[in-house]
Structure 1
Amino acid sequence: MKYFFFALLFFLQLHAQITAYKITPDNTLHVTKQKIKILDAKVLLFQKKKGIPLHEISDLVYENGFVYFVSDQGYLYKFFINIRKNKISSLQYLDAYVLKNKKGQTLKNKKRDAEGLALCKDRLLVSFERKQRVVWYSKNGLKIKKIKIHKDLQNKNNYASKNKGLEAVTCNDKYGVVTAPELPLKNTDVKYHTLYTKDQIFKFSAGGSIVGMEFFSENTVLVLLRDFSYLTRRRVTALMKVYLDTCSEFRVCKSEVLAKLDSSNGWKLDNFEGLTHMYANKYLMVSDDNENMLQKTLLVLFEIKP
């Protein structure tokens, strides 16, 4: 009977789509002091589509009811999301694509390590971690063209390590494409993270690693950060505002911490890496399960308090 129960549980998990998940701690003090409000959280568990597994989600974008996810295995996924009464009521898996070059060839090895995703002018922007670059893609994963990035980002030897490349990307009409490495470059002050446009830099003081970005307003960027201790297994997910129009002569900009979710305070966190704006003050963030059975792909709906 015991083996039957575990087999049944495995079967149900295998065929699950979204299941409820409680991310918030029992101590409400650690919830109410945040400047964001968690509305809902779901575990995503979908079967392969066209032979493509749904794992290692690194970022997402929202557009008129559709959500696109990108994986650091070089996959792109399309879903339809239904929000009712501030809850994720359904998530319909529509399609999956493999990121390809202009010739229609699948990206190979280190070239496929996609980490950041943004939607700008009806096209997708993807930033890559290992072969550091930012590329325009169609919504079915076909490369359109690579864009020029800041000169400091063009030398691979400037990065903190091979696996600390362009983790996040976003864009708007005023600043164009904004991207950032996960950790400060070797030749910069490690006390500051730096956001880069093609010609400008914007520094802000923060700990942890940059994993996601999204414009909050014309001059303000939301930055998602993470910290993880391999020794204690403690996870921290933080959300900050960085004001690009309020910077010193040394390019250090005003910043504000909106939330600091700490697993040592009871937050049930995973490896959150992606952030996207939906509408009004509603946002989604997603976690990377590292293709590890002990981790989860979590999709969290939250709002920024007025």
Structure 2
Amino acid sequence: MHRIKNLIVAGLIIFTGLAHAQQVGYPIDLSDQYRAGDDFMGIRLLGALELKGNNLLSELSGLAWDEDEGILIGVTDRGFLLHLKPEIRDGLLTGMELLRHFPLRNREGKRLSKLDSDAEGLVVIGGNNGRSGDSRLIISFETRNRIVRFTPEGILEAELPLPAPLRARRFYSEPNKGLEAVAMHPSLGLLTGPEISKRSGPIPIFGAEGRRWYYQPFELDGAMVALETAPDGDGVLLLERAYSFPFAPWVITLSRIHPEVDNGGSLLTAQQLLRFVSNQGWRIQNFEGLTHHRNNRYFMVSDDGGLVYLQTQLLYFEIQ
């Protein structure tokens, strides 16, 4: 009977999540000097959008691409999943449709509380195996730091075990500096870590079996906000954001690191791929979500923090 109830709840949630596709992506220029198709540092710019027209797009913090379903999935700090369809023409991002949206819910179908809804990192598992309908989402949360598996419609399935240090509240510098980033590595399993180090030093990155590596931010106040495994085992991409006080520039850095079994415990060498600075010709904001798309192409998204003077910016780019 309990299983039947769960199936009914899941079916109702899927039904209520359906809606007519809504155009929500509008092209913008993030620079006067560099346009779509131009190279900058180690990347090629392939288009940028402002996502707007629906309040659910606010506080978009994590992205994951589901190849089997052909959708871009987003998760917000407010505890919503968004199913998005990118429009790509001649290799450039030109628009985005919002297909469906779902609140994150517990096993009984009840929405997660505000305290439990601060979703940050996102990764799809089973989303590139040639089978439709078997994807699952791994979401990292801060405030109450944990990593949880959900269905693509937002139903909680299981809370995943964390390495012992990450289970201790005192490990984090503050509640809002928690598990911002999560990635699935082909040999190391889940990778995650706090946004910043409590001791203002290198940031620890943890593997599923408790191994840890360290990342030294490029900026004095740099924070680790996203991780993503590169295709063909070519390391891990790490997104760093620095913003220290009002009117200071946003500094967004993307680098490549190589955590391995044999270099556990070490300070990882980071190869810088891009560095955007908002007072040096870039109209960039609070980028904190990253996902691999196809080949060497990626999406990166900014979190507007629910503030009217910030945008939800989506950048499409290729690593050279």
- TM class, shorter-chain normalised? 0.7 to 0.9
TM-score by length of 2: 0.83
C-alpha distance in structure 1 between counterparts of 2:34 and 2:151, whole Å: 44
Q: After TM superposition, which residue ranges in structure 1, 4 or more long, deviate above 3 angstroms?
A: 246-250
TM-score by length of 1: 0.87
Q: Which amino acid aligns with 1:202?
A: W
Aligned length: 282
Q: Which amino acid aligns with 2:202?
A: Y
C-alpha distance in structure 1 between counterparts of 2:261 and 2:190, whole Å: 19
Q: Kindly indicate whether residue 94 of structure 2 is the aligned counterpart of residue 89 of structure 1.
A: yes
Name the structure 1 match of 2:119.
114
CA contact (8 A) 1:247 1:253 kept: no
Give ranges in structure 1 of 5+ residues lacking alignment: 1-14
Name the structure 1 match of 2:211.
200
CA contact (8 A) 1:242 1:255 kept: yes
Which of these residues, 63, 66, 70, is aligned with residue 66 of structure 2? 63
CA contact (8 A) 2:59 2:78 kept: yes
Q: Which amino acid aligns with 1:134?
A: I
Between 1:123-132 and 1:38-47, the stretch displaced more is 38-47
C-alpha distance in structure 1 between counterparts of 2:137 and 2:78, whole Å: 17
Name the structure 1 match of 2:149.
136
Name the structure 2 match of 1:9.
none
CA contact (8 A) 2:299 2:317 kept: yes
Q: 1:94 to 1:33 in 2, by over 3 A?
A: closer
Q: Which amino acid aligns with 1:149?
A: L
Between 1:211-220 and 1:15-24, the stretch displaced more is 15-24
CA contact (8 A) 2:26 2:50 kept: yes
1:162-201 deviation line (CA, Å, top 9, x unaligned):
1100001010331111112111145xxx331121112210
C-alpha distance in structure 2 between counterparts of 1:226 and 1:104, whole Å: 35
1:68-125 deviation line (CA, Å, top 9, x unaligned):
1100000101012221112223322111100011121111121110000011222100
Q: Which amino acid aligns with 2:31?
A: T
Give the deviation of 1:264 after TM superposition.
2.1
Partner SS, residue 102 of structure 1: coil
Q: Which amino acid aligns with 1:76?
A: L
Name the structure 1 match of 2:224.
210
Give the deviation of 1:226 after TM superposition.
0.5
CA contact (8 A) 2:23 2:96 kept: no
Which of these residues, 310, 313, 317, is aligned with residue 295 of structure 1? 310
> What percentage of aligned pairs have identical amino acids?
28
Q: Kindly indicate whether residue 122 of structure 2 is the aligned counterpart of residue 104 of structure 1.
A: no
Q: Which amino acid aligns with 2:72?
A: V
Give the deviation of 1:32 after TM superposition.
5.1
Give the deviation of 1:37 after TM superposition.
1.7
Name the structure 2 match of 1:38.
45
